[in-house]
């Protein structure tokens, strides 16, 4: 599917942690996700504790603007939601320049652009504007500040929401195999690359997995969309039974600009997921980073204390338009969105279909007697690796690790091991969970 049209639908919405247009963004994503994912929206009550945090209030902005004494409108939320610092407190006052200046924000490197600033947890108010406009403002007049905003805690007003869909392998879910999590956040208003781009890339991966499901016995793949950090915390706090089921995760963001892909390691650093990612990216231009290197994001929750699900991050950061009004659809390239989807899909297909084979036979298996011998004239490399593969079916090496050791394509080795499993000579052990019991 073409991804940029979907991105353009999400881009202009006032997507804060919880708001009417965040709900609209979740609805648009749900309309676009494949039907097989059974996408649904979960709602949580504002103020409820979620581990050491609380579910945030729903934010409603009726109007917000800054005017000079003569009635000239300096900035107006109605023109662009970036003009208002996200989660600004309500204000209606006449103030001096000295009182106003600490509440004005601009970007030094891009003086023509409006920055995006948020005050989710340090409650204050403010306006964002281009530095060029800031410098032209008169200092000897008073200004009228109007912010008509509300912080709603009544769940009847809509609550705090996230969207989730799950795609199962051929034949249906396999609980012992667990799940893989693909995560992207939706909560940055008027930001195209950060992170409407990650959202649409994740949706594309979902469509590909729906069109060509993972092999029978693979992990299911869970797709999550919602507000950054607190959204993931609230979701996992409300679904703690899911955590031991999760075997790995990918946080995806900022995939539409022209920079190279960056891969951030898991917290474990050399986990199976890291090795699969390194293999997939080995022939592609990319940047490699440590876990939670800038920009750190929801992988800190997924792979963080008490959860510890191995999670990588895929992005194209840095880019100069970051967190400004220049982060708009003009900097988004369809080929970059699709290229990121290519990488994520390949990682998922290998990691989620991988398992640890444990033999049920003793002694060297009579390969030709069971149709398992490979003629060297048909596949010389696999023929030379038969003994090595068979010797590694002790329940200690995954198929991916075996393929790496014998220097063969993953799918070649998996298809061969599957023939053992079909005859009962191998038992498939799942990739183990890294999640602690508490």
Residue boundaries of the structural domains of the chain: 4-56+157-353, 59-152, 356-429
Rounded distance between C-alpha atoms, residue 385 and residue 405, angstroms: 10
Residues 6+ apart with CB under 8 A from 163: 26, 29, 30, 39, 40, 41, 42, 224, 225, 226
Residue pair 376/282 in contact by the 8 Å Cβ criterion? no
Rounded distance between C-alpha atoms, residue 419 and residue 430, angstroms: 18
The CATH number of 59-152, from 3.30.1330.20, 1.10.3720.10, 3.50.30.90, 3.90.1170.40, is: 3.50.30.90
Distance set, CA 112 to CA 45, 185, 186, 317, 392 (Å): 40, 27, 25, 21, 61
Structure confidence by residue, pLDDT tens digits, 114-158: 999 998 888 899 999 999 999 999 999 999 999 999 999 988 889
Looking only at the bridges linking them, the beta strands covering 91-95 and 143-152 are: antiparallel
pLDDT band at 187 (very low <50, low <70, confident <90, very high): very high
Q: Is the pLDDT of residue 274 over 80?
A: yes
Average pLDDT over residues 43-54: 97
The conformational region for residue 388 under phi > 0 = left, psi -120 to 50 = alpha, else beta, is alpha
Q: Classify 4-56+157-353 by CATH class.
A: alpha beta
The span from the first CA to the last CA of the chain, in angstroms, equals 41
Structure confidence by residue, pLDDT tens digits, 212-271: 999 999 999 999 999 999 999 999 999 999 999 999 999 999 999 999 999 999 999 999
Residue pair 231/17 in contact by the 8 Å Cβ criterion? yes
Sheet holding 58-68, edge to edge: 73-76, 58-68, 143-152, 91-95
Check residue 219 and give its pLDDT. Answer: 98
Rounded distance between C-alpha atoms, residue 244 and residue 414, angstroms: 25
Average pLDDT over residues 190-199: 97
Rounded distance between C-alpha atoms, residue 131 and residue 341, angstroms: 36
Structure confidence by residue, pLDDT tens digits, 168-181: 999 999 999 999 99
Q: Is the pLDDT of residue 36 over 90?
A: yes
Q: Phi/psi at 70 (nearest 5 deg)? A: -85, 10
The alpha carbon of residue 295 and the mean position of all alpha carbons in its chain are separated, in whole angstroms, by: 13
Q: Is the pLDDT of residue 325 over 80?
A: yes
Q: Can you give the pTM of this predicted structure?
A: 0.97
Check residue 289 and give its pLDDT. Answer: 98
Secondary structure (H, E, C), the chain: CCCHHHHHHHCCCCCCCCCHHHHHHHHHHHHHCCHHHCCEEEEECCCCEECCEECCCEEEEEEEEEEECCCCEEEECCCCHHHECECCCCEEEEECHHHHHHHEECCCCCCCCCECCECCCCCCCCEECCHHHHHHCCCCCCEEEEEEEEEECCHHHCCEEEEEEEECCCCCCCHHHCEEEEEEECCCCCCHHHHHHHHHHHHHHHHHHHHCCCCCCCCEEEEEEECCCHHHHHHHHHCHHHHHHEEEEEEECCCCCCCCEEEECCCCCCCHHHHHHHHHHCCCCEEEECCCCCCCCCHHHHCCCCCCCCEEEEECCCCCCCCECCCCHHHCCHHHHHHHHHHHHHHHHHHHHCCEEEECCCCCCCCHHHCCCCCCCCCHHHHHHHHHHHHCCECCCCHHHHHHHHCCCHHHHHHHHHHHHHCCCEEEECCCCCCCCC
Check residue 436 and give its pLDDT. Answer: 87
Structure confidence by residue, pLDDT tens digits, 349-388: 999 999 999 999 999 999 999 999 999 999 999 999 999 9
Q: Above pLDDT 70, what percent of the chain?
A: 100
Average pLDDT over residues 15-22: 96
Check residue 230 and give its pLDDT. Answer: 98
Rounded distance between C-alpha atoms, residue 7 and residue 273, angstroms: 29
Q: Is the pLDDT of residue 437 over 80?
A: no
Check residue 399 and give its pLDDT. Answer: 98
Same CATH fold, 59-152 and 4-56+157-353?
no
Q: What is the largest CA-CA distance in the chain?
A: 95
Residues pairing with 149 in the sheet: 61
Average pLDDT over residues 198-210: 98
Among candidate residues 362, 358, 361, 386, the one with its CA nearest the CA of residue 372: 386
């Amino acid at each position: 599917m073409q991804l940029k049209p979907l991105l353009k639908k999400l881009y202009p919405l006032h997507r804060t942690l919880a708001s009417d247009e965040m709900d609209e963004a979740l609805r648009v994503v749900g309309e676009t996700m494949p039907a097989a994912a059974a996408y649904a929206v979960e709602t949580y009550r504002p103020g409820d504790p979620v581990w050491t945090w609380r579910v945030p209030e729903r934010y409603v902005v009726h109007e917000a603007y800054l005017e000079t004494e003569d009635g000239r409108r300096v900035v107006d939320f109605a023109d662009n939601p970036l003009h208002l610092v996200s989660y600004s407190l309500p204000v209606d006052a006449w103030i001096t320049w000295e009182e106003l200046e600490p509440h004005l924000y601009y970007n030094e490197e891009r003086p023509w652009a409006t920055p995006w600033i948020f005050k989710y947890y340090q409650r204050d108010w403010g306006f964002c504007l281009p530095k060029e406009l800031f410098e032209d403002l008169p200092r000897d007049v008073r200004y009228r500040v109007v912010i008509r905003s509300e912080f709603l805690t009544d769940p009847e007003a809509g609550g705090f929401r996230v969207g989730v869909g799950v795609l199962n392998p051929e034949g249906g879910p396999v609980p012992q195999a667990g799940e893989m999590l693909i995560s992207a956040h939706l909560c940055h208003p008027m930001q195209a690359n950060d992170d409407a781009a990650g959202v649409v890339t994740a949706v594309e991966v979902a469509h590909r997995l729906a069109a060509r499901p993972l092999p029978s016995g693979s992990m299911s793949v869970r797709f999550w969309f919602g507000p950054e950090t607190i959204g993931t915390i609230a979701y996992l706090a409300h679904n703690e039974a899911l955590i031991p089921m999760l075997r790995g995760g990918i946080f995806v963001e900022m995939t539409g600009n022209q920079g190279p892909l960056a891969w951030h390691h898991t917290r474990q650093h050399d986990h199976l997921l890291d090795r699969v990612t390194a293999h997939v990216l080995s022939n592609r231009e990319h940047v490699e980073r440590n876990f939670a290197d800038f920009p750190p994001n929801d992988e800190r929750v997924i792979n963080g204390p008490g959860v510890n699900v191995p999670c990588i991050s895929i992005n194209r950061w840095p880019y100069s338009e970051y967190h400004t009004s220049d982060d708009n659809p003009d900097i988004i390239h369809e080929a970059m969105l699709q290229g990121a989807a290519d990488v994520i899909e390949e990682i998922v297909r290998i990691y989620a279909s991988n398992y640890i084979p444990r033999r049920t036979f003793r002694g060297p298996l009579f390969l030709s007697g069971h149709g398992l011998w490979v003629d060297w004239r048909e596949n010389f490399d696999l023929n030379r690796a038969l003994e090595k593969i068979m010797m590694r079916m002790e329940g200690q090496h995954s198929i991916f690790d075996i393929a790496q050791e014998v220097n063969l394509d993953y799918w070649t080795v998996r298809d061969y091991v599957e023939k053992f499993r079909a005859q009962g000579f191998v038992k498939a052990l799942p990739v183990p969970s890294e999640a602690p019991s508490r």
